[in-house]
């Protein structure tokens, strides 16, 4: 497929993907804004048809507090902890930024629970941007990106897997949004490594800063994509025209943007304890969880695609994805098998 045909081929694939997203939102009942609830006398009262399971009420209330603070001319510096000691003082400009965009777009015509519900709906489809960006950078057929988006939305995963189970049913929007932002940053960093303009560096820095403010534990994912980028740079015959600092700069800037959040957490780390909801007993348990997270067919595709993405003819983004996967797997195995650093692993969910 020629480059021109590839570019024009994106339009129908994106249109079909958008249609599927709208169908999925309809199937998930996002377009019904109220639902009738019977009273004791038999009459009906209409309540917002909002997500209300597990953490959703907390995040909606948190955004309500954030919105009232902005209306009074200040930004909340502290929102009390929940979930057995999970500190949330760094959340106001994290996932609540998506709620704020939805609230502004609705011209304050949505109830706060519905604003948060549609923020979740937007976060759910955010990886589609990354899929189509990867297809463009790797000169792949755009229908592969459409297929990946459909797979992402259909594979339910588990409550720690980043799929619809964790995001929509459990309401862990901060974990999921931060992971998606780092995924988008990976594609942007690959574009910068592949000769992109400095504007890509600024975008990557913003994505990383936003991810860190949303969930500081995403720093491990940020370190993973940086290591992958450095490996690709080192093994690239064109590295003489690229500076390693050009790759590290957006990471440093992104961490710097999140410094007001990260430094207090580090300084007062003895006051915080993140509840360890899940720990893999062994590698077999981790493997079973990974297969459940992405499904057996996609796991098979990943195993087949990994050596292809490491070949000499692979594009920069393909090699970055492959090395990110390898580093992630190696890091997970290390944390499972090696106790040090215990102070790090106990802070991981």
Pairing between strand 44-48 and 34-38? antiparallel
Candidate from 37-46, 161-170, 293-302 with smallest mean pLDDT: 37-46
Contact status, residue 277 vs residue 349, Cβ threshold 8 Å: yes
Structure confidence by residue, pLDDT tens digits, 122-163? 999 999 999 999 999 998 899 999 999 999 999 988 887 778
Which residue would you say has higher pLDDT here, 21 or 290?
21
**C-beta of residue 194 within 8 angstroms of C-beta of residue 137:** yes
Q: Is 231 exposed, middle or buried (0-12, 13-18, 19+ CB in 10 A)?
A: middle
Residue with tokens 């704020």: 100
Q: How confident is the model at residue 7 (pLDDT cuts 50, 70, 90)?
A: low
Three-state secondary-structure class, residue 88: coil
Least confident interval from 265-279, 288-302, 323-337:
265-279
What is the helix, strand, coil percentage profile of the chain, to 5? 65, 5, 30
Nearest to 99 by CA among 89, 88, 90, 108: 108
Q: What's the whole-number mean pLDDT along residues 290-301?
A: 90
Supply the pLDDT for residue 55: 84
Evaluate whether 75 touches 65 at the Cβ level (below 8 Å).
Answer: no
Integer Cα distance of 107 and 109 in angstroms:
5
Tell me the percentage of the chain whose pLDDT exceeds 70.
84
pLDDT for res 228: 92
pLDDT tens-digit map of 178-237: 999 999 999 999 988 887 777 888 899 999 999 988 888 788 899 999 999 989 888 876
pLDDT tens across 238-252, in order?
A: 654 566 777 778 888
Q: How many CB atoms lie within 10 A of CB 270?
A: 7
Residue 192 near residue 246, CB atoms below 8 Å: yes
pLDDT at 85: 44
Task: Give residue 322's pLDDT.
Answer: 95
**Which of 349, 174, 172 has the alpha carbon at shortest distance from 278?**
349
Residue from 41, 62, 60 nearest 51 by CA:
60
Higher pLDDT among residues 78 and 21, named by residue: 21
Highest mean pLDDT: which range of 236-240, 300-304, 335-339:
300-304
| Pick from 204, 213, 207, 218: nearest CA to 248 | 204
């Amino acid at each position: 497929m020629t480059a021109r045909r590839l570019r024009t081929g994106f339009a129908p694939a994106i249109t079909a993907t958008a249609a599927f997203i709208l169908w999925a939102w309809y199937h998930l009942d996002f377009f019904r804004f109220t639902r009738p609830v019977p009273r004791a006398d038999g009459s009906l009262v209409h309540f917002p048809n909002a997500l209300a399971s597990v953490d959703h009420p907390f995040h909606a209330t948190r955004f309500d507090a954030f919105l009232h603070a902005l209306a009074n001319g200040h930004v909340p510096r502290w929102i009390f902890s929940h979930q057995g000691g999970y500190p949330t003082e760094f959340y106001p400009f994290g996932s609540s930024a998506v709620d704020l965009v939805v609230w502004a777009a609705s011209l304050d015509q949505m109830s706060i629970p519905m604003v948060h519900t549609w923020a979740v709906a937007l976060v759910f489809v955010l990886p589609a941007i990354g899929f189509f960006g990867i297809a463009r950078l790797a000169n792949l057929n755009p229908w592969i990106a459409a297929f990946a988006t459909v797979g992402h939305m259909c594979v339910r995963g588990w409550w720690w897997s980043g799929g619809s189970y964790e995001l929509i049913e459990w309401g862990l929007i901060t974990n999921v949004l931060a992971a998606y932002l780092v995924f988008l940053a990976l594609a942007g960093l690959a574009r910068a490594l592949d000769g992109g303009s400095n504007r890509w560096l600024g975008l990557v820095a913003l994505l990383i800063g936003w991810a860190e403010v949303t969930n500081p534990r995403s720093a491990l994912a940020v370190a993973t994509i940086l290591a992958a980028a450095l490996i690709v740079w080192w093994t690239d015959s064109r590295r003489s025209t690229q500076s390693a600092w050009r790759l590290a700069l957006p990471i440093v800037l992104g961490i710097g943007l999140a410094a007001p959040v990260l430094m207090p957490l580090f300084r007062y780390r003895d006051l915080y304890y993140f509840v360890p909801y899940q720990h893999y007993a062994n590698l077999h348990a981790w493997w079973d969880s990974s297969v459940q997270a992405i499904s057996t067919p996609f796991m098979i595709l990943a195993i087949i695609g990994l050596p292809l993405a490491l070949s000499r003819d692979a594009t920069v983004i393909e090699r970055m994805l492959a090395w990110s996967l390898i580093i992630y797997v190696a890091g997970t195995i290390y944390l499972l098998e090696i106790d040090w650093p215990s102070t790090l692993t106990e802070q991981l969910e």
